[in-house]
């Protein structure tokens, strides 16, 4: 069970990461990256972020690019939250495929 502090930090990181991705994906037209959920470890040192990528066909390619630029994203995040957090957590990104799963279930129910 997450504590109140973990939830507040997770919401802050989700908001700031989504703003960072929004700025970075303006250059690439036709791609939308959104942060669906973040989880923070109890010692606030690791942040696990689940990203949803549209179109989902390019999901693995874009996620590989995000993972390659983790240090840059962490630095950008650090400049945004430097007055709220003492230590910027290590970032881990995973693909959130729940929307694809829901779409698949809807297609099966229509048949």
pLDDT digits (tens, 9 = 90+) for 34-61: 999 999 999 999 999 999 988 888 888 8
Please determine, for residue 2, whether its predicted confidence score (pLDDT) is greater than 80. Answer: no
> Angle at CA 53, nearest 5°, toward 66 and 29?
85
Answer whether the bond into residue 63 is a cis peptide, omega within 30°. no
Distance CA 93, CA 106 (A): 27
pLDDT, the chain, mean:
89
44 close to 81: Cβ distance less than 8 angstroms: no
67 pLDDT higher than 60 = yes
pLDDT at 100 over 80: no
Q: What confidence tens digit (pLDDT) does each residue in 77-88 have?
A: 999 999 999 999
Query: Has residue 102 got a pLDDT over 90?
Result: no
């Amino acid at each position: 069970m997450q504590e109140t502090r973990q939830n507040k930090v997770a919401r802050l990181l989700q908001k700031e990461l989504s703003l960072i991705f929004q700025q970075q994906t303006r250059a690439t037209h036709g791609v939308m990256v959104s942060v669906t959920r973040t989880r923070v470890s109890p010692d606030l040192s690791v942040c696990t972020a689940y990203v949803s990528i549209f179109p989902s066909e390019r999901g693995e390619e874009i996620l590989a690019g995000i993972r390659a630029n983790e240090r840059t994203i962490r630095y950008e995040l650090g400049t945004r939250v430097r007055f709220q957090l003492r230590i910027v957590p290590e970032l881990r990104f995973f693909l959130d495929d729940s929307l694809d799963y829901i779409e698949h279930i809807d297609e099966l129910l229509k048949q």
